[in-house]
Amino acid sequence: MTFNPFSLPSWLALGLLVGVSPALAEPWAGNLWNPRPDADDIVLPMPCEGSMAFRRVAIPTTGPLDDLPITLGQDGGDWGVVEHSYPAFIAGSFTDAKKDQGRYYLMAKYELTALQYQALMDDTCPTPSRRLSVPATGMSWFDAVNAANKYNQWLRAHAADRLPAEDGKPGFLRLPTEVEWEFAARGGLKVNSAEFRDIHYPMDDMKNYEWFSGAQSSNGKVQLIGRLQPNPLGLYDMLGNVSEMMFTPFYLNKLNRLHGQAGGFVVRGGSFRTGQAEIRSAARKEVSYYADTAPFTSRETGLRLVLVAPAITSTDKVKQLEKSWENLGAESGNSAPGAGENRDTAKTLGSLASGVDDAALKQKLKALENQLRASNQKQQEERAQSIRASLNLGSFLCTKLQDDGRFLDFLNHNYTLLCQDKEAGDTHCATRKARLGEQADRLQQLTGYYASSLVDSAALYGEESLKQEVGVFDKMLSLNKRLTGLKPFLAAHWQNQQAYLQNGKIDTAGWLENCKKTAAGH
């Protein structure tokens, strides 16, 4: 007798087709899948009345072809051919319309647990227990991809409305790329640029954050999820406990870029058997997909899922992409003072190519156009980074102007109050006056440095370029709780910058007063 799932009740057939038992189950207790709940967690249901928690990884880009340049890897290590730093780019999948912070993708808060893996892969629902809240291990890369596939099918069948969507198209789960994983492992935009480039994200003592080899940490055993502290993005065990499989294949490093040969799959983060000195954000290891005749598996390797969206979601999106592509590397995008009516050489080359009948010449002109556009695009990206660095400096100097300016006012007030009617030879008043003079000189030097920085950035970049990056930098500050206090000073600095751009007047006294009256953010 041939088995026909469509002869069964629809709910039963669907459960069997996606490999999940239709048997009724009790909802899992929260400590089994999210032992450290947080208000910013995003939760998706799972088969067998289970759940999985995710965290938002935000990137302050909005345009369809906008992305954020970052540097991954590590300099100075013994494994330069594997880990040497290289330029990369990151962008989000979903538009963050409510929070106005650009775009984002979702990353699982914890490594996939044995309980979650069994709920996806077994024919019957597992009995929930805390002992199953350890990372699932012993599966192959193909098993990991299959688990993500089963979860995607189940969500689309049972909870499609819970999936975040972009342009009306629901997202999907998969293993992370190396760029997605390392950006999140380093703390994303929740850390400053120096902390991002450090060996690992900020932590007072590694044993409070990550499981590694030794009696002071894992003691040679895989550990339950959520027992230690999270990284700045609220992700647990990004380093240590179990190594995590990547979606993209392994590439060697060739100084400032990846080598051309694709190898096996990549595992990242180290495991409970990795020594403390070897735990770092840049650590990566190649693993063959096969061990002898069978797919490779390891008791030290697990996985963590990401939730992303397709890049091309509709005909409208295609039109947006085409329009953005046409503007990439356009010299007219350079709004620096003195650019004037800059003739767009790249577009001129394109026009020439379209009017040429010689096929070989047409191809050469188009190739030259693309090379020029790529060169312009790289310059524009580097320029944007420089502008954000200038805004960062201006905002920080504004905080220093406030501190030093208010302190000078305090000293001046005390001197007037205590020394106005004293004789000139009063020792205490002479000391106060000297201190007042020193502080006035210090503030004058700082004000001069601030003014020079402001004027130089106006001359180098121009109002349009500065204005565009103010919005991006403001979003970056919003994503970092430790830096949100800088936001009002960015606004004050931008007011000062705009005033100079509009009237060309170097108003150091006015700029100082604007910084002094700024209310610090929280």
Q: Answer whether residue 369 is part of any domain.
A: no
Residue 153 has pLDDT above 90, yes or no: yes
Residue partners of 90: CB distance under 8 A and separation at least 6:
59, 67, 68, 70, 179, 180, 183
Q: What is the mean pLDDT of residues 135-143?
A: 98
Dihedral sign (CA 20, 24, 27, 29): negative
CB of 303 closer than 8 Å to CB of 140: no
**4-8, 15-19, 168-172, 466-470: lowest mean pLDDT where?**
4-8
Confidence of residue 427 (pLDDT cuts 50, 70, 90): confident
> How many Å apart are CA 166 and CA 154, to the nearest integer?
19
Do 396 and 293 sit in the same domain of this protein?
no
Q: pLDDT of 195-231, one tens digit each? A: 999 999 999 999 999 999 999 999 999 999 999 999 9
Residue 186 has pLDDT above 60, yes or no: yes
Residue 7 has pLDDT above 90, yes or no: no
Which residue spans within 240-311 are E strands per DSSP?
Answer: 243-249, 253-254, 257-258, 265-268, 284-287, 290-291, 294-295, 301-302, 306-308
Confidence of residue 12 (pLDDT cuts 50, 70, 90): very low
Do 114 and 221 sit in the same domain of this protein?
yes
- Domain C-terminal end among 308, 335, 354: 308
- Domain C-terminal end among 290, 308, 326: 308
Which pLDDT score is estimated for 9?
A: 42
16-19 LR contacts (CB < 8 Å, sep 24+): 18/47, 18/150, 18/153, 18/154, 18/157, 19/120, 19/121, 19/123, 19/150
CB of 192 closer than 8 Å to CB of 480: yes
Q: Answer whether residue 374 is part of any domain.
A: no
Q: Answer whether residue 254 is part of any domain.
A: yes
Do 29 and 168 sit in the same domain of this protein?
yes
- Domain C-terminal end among 256, 287, 308: 308
Q: Answer whether residue 102 is part of any domain.
A: yes
Do 55 and 163 sit in the same domain of this protein?
yes
CA nearest 93: which of 248, 308, 411, 244? 308
Q: Which segment, 26-30, 62-66, 154-158, 471-475, is predicted with the most confidence on average? A: 154-158
Give the strand order in the sheet containing 265-268: 284-287, 265-268, 243-249, 301-302
Q: What is the mean pLDDT of residues 431-460?
A: 92
Q: What is the mean pLDDT of residues 393-419?
A: 93
Do 283 and 134 sit in the same domain of this protein?
yes
Report the share of the chain in percent with pLDDT over 70. Answer: 89
Which pLDDT score is estimated for 520?
A: 73
Do 397 and 271 sit in the same domain of this protein?
no
Q: Is 369 exposed, middle or buried (0-12, 13-18, 19+ CB in 10 A)?
A: buried
Do 413 and 495 sit in the same domain of this protein?
yes
CA nearest 516: which of 499, 493, 500, 484? 493
Q: Answer whether residue 366 is part of any domain.
A: no
Q: Which segment, 24-33, 148-157, 513-522, is predicted with the most confidence on average? A: 148-157
Which pLDDT score is estimated for 404?
A: 95
Q: pLDDT of 371-386, one tens digit each? A: 877 888 888 888 898 9
State the CATH number of the domain containing residue 141: 3.90.1580.10
Q: Answer whether residue 457 is part of any domain.
A: yes
Q: Please state the domain count of the chain.
A: 2
Q: Is the pTM of this model over 0.85?
A: no
Do 410 and 299 sit in the same domain of this protein?
no
Do 23 and 118 sit in the same domain of this protein?
yes
Q: What average pLDDT is seen over the chain? A: 88
Q: Answer whether residue 466 is part of any domain.
A: yes
**74-83, 165-174, 499-508, 509-518: lowest mean pLDDT where?**
74-83
Do 151 and 53 sit in the same domain of this protein?
yes
Q: pLDDT of 19-53, one tens digit each? A: 444 445 689 999 999 999 999 999 999 999 999 99
Which pLDDT score is estimated for 13?
A: 42
Q: What is the mean pLDDT of residues 333-337?
A: 48
Q: Answer whether residue 476 is part of any domain.
A: yes
Do 53 and 193 sit in the same domain of this protein?
yes
Take residue 3 and report the two structure tokens written for it: 């088995």
> How many Å apart are CA 346 and CA 371, to the nearest integer?
9
**Which comes out higher in pLDDT, residue 340 or 326?**
326
What domain range is 220 assigned to? Answer: 5-308
**198-202, 294-298, 315-319: lowest mean pLDDT where?**
315-319
Confidence of residue 346 (pLDDT cuts 50, 70, 90): low
**Which comes out higher in pLDDT, residue 328 or 219?**
219
Q: pLDDT of 236-275, one tens digit each? A: 999 999 999 999 999 999 888 889 999 999 999 999 999 9
Residue 102 has pLDDT above 90, yes or no: no
Do 116 and 246 sit in the same domain of this protein?
yes
Residue 134 has pLDDT above 80, yes or no: yes
